Amino acid sequence: MEKIKIEDLFNFNFLSGISLSDDGKYLAFVVSKANEEKNNYTSNIWLLDTTDSKLKKLTTYGNESNFIWLDNKTILFQSIREDDEKQRKQNGEKFSSFYKISVDGGEAEKYFEIPLIVKKIKKLDSENFVILGEYNIYDNDKDYIILDEIPFWSNGAGFTNKKRTRLYLFNLKNKEIIPISGEYENVSHFDIAKNGKNILFISNEYKDKMEIRSDLFIYNLETKGKEKLTHDDPFRYAYAYFLDDSIIFAGSDMKNFGVNENPKFYLLDPKSKKVTLLTPNFDLSIRNSVGSDCRYGSYNNAAVDENYLYFVTTEYSSSYLNRIDKTGKIEKLTVNGGSIDGFDVKNGEIYFIGLKNFKLQEIYKLEKAEKQVTFFNERLVNERKISKPEKFTFTNKDGIELEGWIIKPVDFEEGKKYPAILDIHGGPKTVYGEVFFHEMQIWASEGYVVMFTNPRGSDGRGNKFADIRGKYGTVDYEDLMSFVDEALKRYPFIDKERLGVTGGSYGGFMTNWIIGHTDKFKAAVSQRSISNWISKFATTDIGYYFVADQQSATPWDNFEKLWWHSPMKYADKVKTPTLFIHSDEDYRCWIAEAIQMFTSFKYFGVESRLVILKGENHDLSRSGKPKNRITRLREITNWFNKYLKE
């Protein structure tokens, strides 16, 4: 077998958008692949017949997305196919074209077009749809940009000043589009009642400064009336669904643990407006926080079927599928580790996309056990040398047991010393787990030990463990250094004189922090990092509220604290050769963060290099243009090879 290669990215199949027909006979999903020639991704809809497990590729054009079931035999999907559509799109015209196709195959037929950029669509009946679409309060097609609110831009979306995501009704027969939400509201989620008479949605209305809160509304399709159901203020709603004659929702008042506080589940009676807290002792994240660079597309984290809300949680280093009923009783449905990357359920039948058994994504059916039903990536994994993580636990200085892993080099030889790379996850409220990670396998193939852990601040262990507000660079740094010391003690084949460190986002911050506080590492790669909490406060799309919340300070009430937690403060102590990698359209951790640290290093004579990827954003390593993803990984690997091998 061959070692895994950086270019194997072009052979990966990424699965997303899983959806069952109402009768449960067919499972539709999207398969995406990196296209080397066009330097983009092709996405096609596939179909699984659940009665005999037969698979077929339903569309072949390559840009199919945002699909729904029109009926049990017909799929509606969004695409740009015709030459005039392509030309109009290139000219900046804002519209969305929808096509329909039968599960029996044949050519797709253009069904309708909407003069909006559609983000999501759901069917009300054969002639009416509910649409989540872009709405511009200002004319943004001018040669200048007006900013009069914060946030004014968003990672992956560019300048968003006075842009909102608005909810609409669309009638197919008369082409009428009626807005449901207000022009200053940003709608983040909606659900349609089974009887088709009501729409439930979550939105945040603002004009000058977006507050971290949201409201819950119900819209009556018969009376055309909108009613506010918000039960507490401020409150941050995660999602809300109709469950029989009630509404079940998840959210947090953020009083105890700030913006990252884990949601709880509530039941609301639409008639009496009575709200019941169902899970007072529930303390888990209701999302999949398990990191991987082998995903592409969108995923469902919650769905209602019969008398249950099904949802995903992250627990320690894995994510799991659960369900809750109206009494608040929670059942954990999956027990195997790994990652649940979206699911759907109809009539009790459950299918999910998973990163399981250290494989790339496949679809699984949940019966009494998890049964793999697709094998899109099986051949590639079987033809490559894969080094699986080895887990160990250790106790930090405060007596808390932590999890850590090492990945041995491919073709490991006893008695030989190996360089090692500490890889730090982003977030900080995410986790590393035992799932396939392309970059880690590349480094193992290059002869490195790869080390990773989930320090305090990580997800999966409740609010208290994740809460490092005002503590960045203290307890998390201690946990990471304790982990490295423990790994060196347990694995004598790790060469302590050839250690590297890298990470992205929060992991980039921590990389910057580490090399300003220890000379233990001989090379560093800081990706999409944070170097200065003062500048981050006023420049990034989440800065003004995230920094105030996470650092427990603003530039006015505690300038010294923000500077104390800023890696740039310690740049004059750094001796470690450092590569900075950043995207020029990263509005989450703006490029100024990398530039400031890079300039500081050059000023003090530290060996450093800054690589800027054009046209990319904060998600470069996960969904950037394929060739840029390869450039990034090659630059990192070459940097470590230069300083840890030569």
- Note the pLDDT tens digit of each residue in 199-209: 999 999 999 99
Helix, strand, coil fractions of the chain, as percent rounded to 5:
20, 40, 40
pTM exceeds 0.95: yes
Sign of CA dihedral 470, 475, 477, 479: negative
Active site residue 618: yes
The model's confidence at residue 105, banded by pLDDT at 50, 70 and 90, is confident
Of 189, 425, 565, 618, which residue is the catalytic one? 618
Of 505, 531, 600, 621, which residue is the catalytic one? 505
- Per DSSP (E only), the strands in 271-307 are 275-277, 302-305
The values of phi and psi at residue 513, to 5°, are -65, -45
CA nearest to 65, candidates 88, 97, 95: 97
CB atoms within 10 A of CB 237: 25
Active site residue 214: no
Collapsing DSSP to helix, strand or coil, 414 comes out as coil
DSSP state of 568: G
The model's confidence at residue 635, banded by pLDDT at 50, 70 and 90, is very high
> What token pair was written down for 28?
């539709």
The pLDDT score that the predictor gives to residue 143 is 83
Q: In Å, how far are 38, 39, 62, 360 from 35, measured between CA atoms?
A: 6, 5, 10, 18
The model's confidence at residue 373, banded by pLDDT at 50, 70 and 90, is very high
Say whether the peptide bond before residue 577 is cis (omega within 30 degrees of 0): no
Collapsing DSSP to helix, strand or coil, 122 comes out as strand
- How many Å apart are CA 389 and CA 381, to the nearest integer? 15
The pLDDT score that the predictor gives to residue 399 is 96
Average of per-residue pLDDT across 537-564? 97
The pLDDT score that the predictor gives to residue 140 is 61
The pLDDT score that the predictor gives to residue 368 is 87
> What token pair was written down for 615?
């046209």
Q: In Å, how far are 284, 352, 404, 452, 560 from 467, measured between CA atoms?
A: 13, 30, 20, 20, 21
615 Rama sector, left if φ>0, alpha if ψ -120 to 50, beta otherwise? left
The pLDDT score that the predictor gives to residue 60 is 92
Average of per-residue pLDDT across 617-634? 98
The pLDDT score that the predictor gives to residue 142 is 75
Name residues whose C-beta falls within 8 Å of residue 116's C-beta, 6 or more positions apart in sequence.
94, 95, 96, 131, 133, 134, 135, 168, 177
CA nearest to 610, candidates 633, 635, 585: 635
CA nearest to 194, candidates 116, 124, 257: 124
Collapsing DSSP to helix, strand or coil, 69 comes out as strand
Name residues whose C-beta falls within 8 Å of residue 159's C-beta, 6 or more positions apart in sequence.
140, 145, 147, 152, 153
Average of per-residue pLDDT across 596-612? 98
Q: In Å, how far are 447, 574, 636 from 629, measured between CA atoms?
A: 21, 28, 11
Q: What is the pLDDT of residues 44-97, one digit of tens each?
A: 999 999 999 999 999 999 999 889 999 999 999 999 998 889 899 888 899 999
Domains and CATH numbers, the chain: 1-115+288-298+337-385 (2.40.128), 387-644 (3.40.50.1820)
- How many Å apart are CA 8 and CA 285, to the nearest integer? 33
CA nearest to 101, candidates 92, 110, 114: 110
The model's confidence at residue 622, banded by pLDDT at 50, 70 and 90, is very high
Q: What is the pLDDT of residues 448-496, one digit of tens each?
A: 999 999 999 999 999 999 999 999 999 999 999 999 999 999 999 999 9
- Min mean pLDDT across 132-146, 174-188, 534-548 is at 132-146
CB atoms within 10 A of CB 562: 23
The values of phi and psi at residue 32, to 5°, are -115, 150
The model's confidence at residue 443, banded by pLDDT at 50, 70 and 90, is very high
The pLDDT score that the predictor gives to residue 141 is 66
Average of per-residue pLDDT across 496-505? 98
Name residues whose C-beta falls within 8 Å of residue 155's C-beta, 6 or more positions apart in sequence.
541, 585, 586, 587, 588, 617, 618, 619
> What token pair was written down for 416?
């030989």
CA nearest to 260, candidates 587, 562, 546: 546
Q: What is the pLDDT of residues 508-517, one digit of tens each?
A: 999 999 999 9
Whether residue 39 has pLDDT greater than 90:
yes
Average of per-residue pLDDT across 411-415? 96
